[in-house]
Amino acid sequence: MELTGYSNRWTVRPGEEITFHIHCRSTRYEAQLVRLIHGDENPKGPGFKEQPIRSDLDGGHAGREQVIRKGSYGVVDLAGLLDGVESFTLSFWVCPTLPGPEDQGMLALHAPSVGAGLGLYLMPDGFVECRHGDAPALRSGQRLTVGEWYQLRLSVEVAARRLSLEIASRRWQPSHAEPDRVAAPLSSRFRPGNASLLFAAGWVETTEHGPTPHGVFNGKLARPCIVGPAPAGKEAPVLAAWDFSVAAGTASIVDVSGGGRHGRTENRPARTMTGPGWPGRADSTAPTPETHDAIHFHDDDVADVGWPESHRFRVPDDLASGVYALRLRTGGAEDHLPFFVAPSRSGLQAKLAVLMPTMSYLAYANESLDVSDTVQLAPRQDMAISPEAYAYVAANGLKSTYDLHRDGSGIQYGSRRRPVMDFRPKARCRTFDAPHQFAADLHLIDWLTVKGYDFDILTDDLLHEEGAALLAPYRAVVTGSHPEYWTARMLDGRDSWLDGGGRLAYLGGNGFYWVTGVAEDAPDVIEIRRYGGTRTSTGAIGEETLSVTHERGGLWRDRGRSPHSRVGIGFSGQGFDRGAPFRRSPRSFDPAWSWIFKGVEQEIVGAGPALVLGHGAAGFEVDRTDPRHGTPAHTVVLASTDRFTDAYQGAIEDFNSLNPWSGGSHKASGIRADIAYTPGPRGGAVFAAGSISWSSTLSQSGYDSDTSRITQNVLDAFLREMLPTS
């Protein structure tokens, strides 16, 4: 990449600071603060809109090329622990998931002097090598099998200058019917000295860009410990022992021996993973210290690229709430680093707020799915979109929670302290060649701006932090197009606000779907565990618990908090070929509800052009009412459509068995989009559009499309003291 970067936070208030971290291969670049209005460059829409804002960020700056140090590992300082110790044993459990292409360090004593260390490596051919000083490596007699657990015990006799390695398989294998034992003289150069103990890396190089791991291991480690020599007739003393089930929601590695040799992980490896004790004797998959004491390391983990600060910006007290970006340019390259300015806590606030789904932006960050083999389902795909950006993402381990690690396991963590190439105003999704997530939500921002609404910008981040208090000042709140990822705190805040009379316009689809966790020690990191629902990967059995919150992951529906129960509708299916119009229900013509359709006399609505999928207000991912999952009896279906093709497929969780009717042309697929209205307590209500594509139709016909009129009728009514029906 010629030019890119990231900010340390996505949401700020006036008076707060935000920092920007820039990578630029050129000697100089130009920066400009801009307010973003509309990002979609599609000539069938309003086009790209931004407004320059004067700030001290503006002007030319010196460029600097940055490096991304990928790969997760752990490190513990052992300074002085092994001084004078005549012998010791390193013991741990290991489960490899992808050997090669280079040697992978599993456990290493990394000493400051060259050649003085000692390490155990998994070789590309599956054998284990112990390397120590300048001596020939000690090599195991048998290969390790991918997916199997083994206990490794390396005994180091410092005084006698001898070492021995024993490898035992947890379960019987023909190749490991008996423990594999090998021994060799210990290098005369080995000195434990002030060594660090590395987990899942061969060695760490200190460079100008920071510590860089080499020989990163792909696989699980568990129960590492260091045992000293056993006195006559006594048990060997435990010098240090680390229980990976302790503080598993953080980056900490905890020494449970009492010696205080604690450490930390880097680049957020997967915690609360099943270890050699899984399965246990419990009658549930809930994690216990005995069963979930492993860490899964990957050579393509990236949680914080750690680039130095390029710019620091204090948000002026008088800067209006809105969507902003630091625009970067050099030569022919351009990039935008977006951020949101929420209103001041002490200033006047609007009565309308837009809740930008930043948790969903983070879950989809750098989504890199290759859909080239599924052209039947995604005929609009263009895998040639932004080739440089996608190559940069792949090369540097920047993929989303929708993608896979190199060893085939799902990616569970998303972090904003790294470049996010699709959190950009002009971004287009390769699957259907149209905006998605942030870029698509600017369709709504543009419409509200053109219509002259006074509105504030809120974000998922703030709702997670502040709960219902964040929403309390607002009479009405509008969602983005795809608010899919929600934490328990967010749901609690939304529901409390709705119970108090809040009015929500849910202008999207597939919302409130996945259980999402936020790391307490790193609030820029979220965690997802996929084991149910419509998904691109499935976690291993027993690994459905979020490490950062200790709650069950998966779908909120499976936790008894389906979106149907609070907004009337929930996910029914998805497709990527075209959208469809809605047909109004007889009840929509009733005077109690016809105010929603003021200025819209026809029965068919949303049949016009759309900036997502070409035309049709119902499209991409759609929601329907369903009493089985909690749609209230008083929810009113105002319009519906099931006129989809077989490029649409029904939500996996709605099928009990294999069947030939999952495509959109079959009513048995259950794929339907409903526009629904649910009256709430104390004069509150929820209007639900039932489609991700809805907002992409608002600017059509000079911002006077039928969907535009419907949306305006709803918001105008929501902003009044009393609703037309109460």
Cα–Cα distance, 376 to 355 (Å, whole number): 34
Distance CA(666)–CA(571), nearest Å, equals: 17
Indicate if the pLDDT at residue 560 is higher than 80: yes
CA 31 to chain centre: 28
Burial 634-643 (b: 16+ CB within 10 A, else e): ebbbbbbbbb
So what's the pLDDT on residue 725? 64
pLDDT of the residue at 210: 85
**pLDDT (mean) for 226-243:** 92
Indicate the average pLDDT of the chain. 95
CB-count exposure of residue 387 (10 Å: 0-12, 13-18, 19+): exposed
**Comparing 471-485, 549-563, 646-660, which segment has the lowest mean pLDDT?**
646-660
> Residue 348's pLDDT band (boundaries 50, 70, 90)?
confident
Integer Cα distance of 178 and 169 in angstroms: 8
Q: What percent of the chain has pLDDT over 70?
A: 99
Q: What share of the chain has pLDDT > 90, as a percent?
A: 89
Question: What's the pLDDT at 206?
Answer: 86
Bridge partners of 24, per DSSP, are: 3
Look up residue 95 and give its DSSP letter: E
Residue 444 vs residues 40, 188, 356, 518, 563: alpha-carbon distances, Å: 11, 70, 10, 27, 22
Report the alpha-carbon distance of residue 566 to residue 631 in Å, rounded.
Answer: 8
Cα 630 from Cα 573, distance rounded (Å): 18
Q: What integer is the mean pLDDT of 562-585?
A: 98
Reported as a pLDDT band with limits 50, 70 and 90, residue 344 is: very high
* pLDDT number for residue 110: 82
The C-alpha atoms of residue 608 and residue 113 are separated, in whole angstroms, by: 70
All domains of the chain, ordered by start, with CATH? 3-67+310-341 (2.60.40), 73-297 (2.60.120.200), 352-718 (no CATH)
Q: What is the DSSP letter of 429?
A: B
Report the candidate in 596, 581, 564 with the shortest Cα–Cα distance to residue 693.
581
DSSP 3-state assignment of 20? strand
Mean pLDDT of 474-492: 98
Count Cβ atoms within 10 A of the Cβ of residue 391 and give its class: 0-12 exposed, 13-18 middle, 19 or more buried: exposed
Q: What is the pLDDT of residue 272?
A: 98
The stretch 340-346 carries a mean pLDDT of: 94
Query: Residue 163 forms beta bridges with which residues?
Result: 156, 184
pLDDT tens for each residue of 697-721: 999 999 999 999 999 999 999 999 9
**Phi first, then psi: what are they for 167, rounded to 5°?**
-125, 125
Amino acid (1-letter code) at residue 275: G
Per-residue pLDDT of 131-160, as tens digits, reads: 998 899 999 999 999 999 999 999 999 999
Strands 621-624 and 517-518, bridge-based pairing: unpaired
* Residue-level pLDDT at 194: 78
Asked if the model's pLDDT at residue 297 lies above 90, the reply is: yes
Q: E strands within 428-580?
A: 455-459, 476-479, 485-486, 503-506, 514-515, 517-518, 525-527, 570-574
Tokens of 627: 């009493």
Q: Are strands 322-330 and 311-314 parallel, antiparallel or unpaired?
A: unpaired
Across residues 499-520, what is the average pLDDT? 98
Lowest mean pLDDT of 356-370, 539-553, 652-666, 678-692, name the range: 652-666
614 φψ region: left (φ > 0), alpha (ψ -120 to 50), beta (else): left
pLDDT band at residue 114 under the 50/70/90 scheme: very low
Among candidates 624, 572, 68, which has minimal Cα distance to 307?
Answer: 68
pLDDT digits (tens, 9 = 90+) for 164-212: 999 999 999 998 999 999 999 999 888 777 789 999 999 999 888 789 9
Judged on CB neighbours under 10 Å (0-12, 13-18, 19+), 316 is middle
Backbone angles phi, psi at 486, to 5 degrees: -130, 140
pTM: 0.96
Strands 503-506 and 685-688: parallel
| Tokens linked to 355 | 């809740």
Cα distances (angstroms) measured from residue 40 to each of 36, 49, 73, 228, 484: 11, 9, 40, 64, 21
Please check whether residue 106 is in contact with residue 200, taking contact to mean a CB–CB distance below 8 angstroms. Answer: yes
Predicted pLDDT at 112: 60
pLDDT at residue 563 above 70? yes
* Statement: residue 726 has pLDDT above 60: no
pLDDT digits (tens, 9 = 90+) for 83-109: 889 999 999 999 999 999 999 999 999
